[in-house]
Amino acid sequence: MPEWQPTSRSCFVCGRENPVGLKVRWENDRATGEIRGTVTIPEHFNGYPGVVHGGIVAALLDETAARTVLMDGGFDDLMVTLKLEVTYRRPTPTLTPLTVVGRLLRRAANRAAAESEVRLPDGSVVARASVTLARPPRAISSRFEPEREHWKVAEP
């Protein structure tokens, strides 16, 4: 049975109730130490016809990397991106099932390093990122608190 990660209500990438969001759900794969999600990007998020806008690809890579710290954690383990280095290997097609994969490389109390990638159905990588994550200052993380009660696993 899949071990799904919780999601929020309003996040652009994972928000269950965001009418323009992507609604990605991530599954923990403990055997490989990876998290995985699937998404099909609609054409209205293109940069060119048939090609996902690079900013949308970066958002997927960013969120996927940030979720690697949640494999063994929860709401209090949320981190924010300090640095995102994206390599686009080839155009990412719209209207195509994509898999996003993330791996946690290192973790300390206040920082983490992760990598993420976007894959086509044949497994080829269209983009990858190296990401440095940081625990946000209390002035920022306190803004997350109203969402805590709504942070839950979405029903399939």
pTM comes to 0.94
Phi-psi region of 134 (alpha: psi -120 to 50; beta: other; left: phi over 0): beta
- Structural domain total, the chain: 1
Q: Is residue 77 part of a domain?
A: yes
CATH code assigned at 58: 3.10.129.10
d(CA 139, CA 108): 21
* Token pair recorded at residue 15: 């928000």
* Token pair recorded at residue 105: 């490389």
Give the model confidence (pLDDT) of 64-114 as tens digits.
999 999 998 788 889 999 999 999 999 999 999 999 999 999 999 999 999
Q: Is residue 6 part of a domain?
A: no
Q: Is residue 7 part of a domain?
A: no
With a cut of 80, say whether residue 154 has pLDDT above it. Answer: no
Q: Is residue 17 part of a domain?
A: no
With a cut of 70, say whether residue 53 has pLDDT above it. Answer: yes
Q: Is residue 153 part of a domain?
A: no
Q: Is residue 133 part of a domain?
A: yes
Q: Residue range 123-142: average pLDDT?
A: 95
Band of the pLDDT at 146, cuts 50, 70, 90?
confident
Band of the pLDDT at 156, cuts 50, 70, 90?
low
- Asked which of 52-61, 89-98, 124-133, 145-154 is least confident by mean pLDDT, the reply is 145-154
- Quote the percentage of the chain above a pLDDT of 70: 99
User: Is the torsion defined by CA of 55, 60, 63, 66 positive or negative?
Assistant: negative
Give the model confidence (pLDDT) of 4-25 as tens digits.
999 999 999 999 999 999 999 9
**In terms of Cα–Cα distance, which of 27, 28, 22 is closest to 10?**
22
With a cut of 80, say whether residue 33 has pLDDT above it. Answer: yes
With a cut of 80, say whether residue 1 has pLDDT above it. Answer: no
Q: Is residue 86 part of a domain?
A: yes
Quote the domain boundaries for residue 117.
25-145
d(CA 81, CA 87): 16
d(CA 35, CA 30): 8
Q: Is residue 112 part of a domain?
A: yes
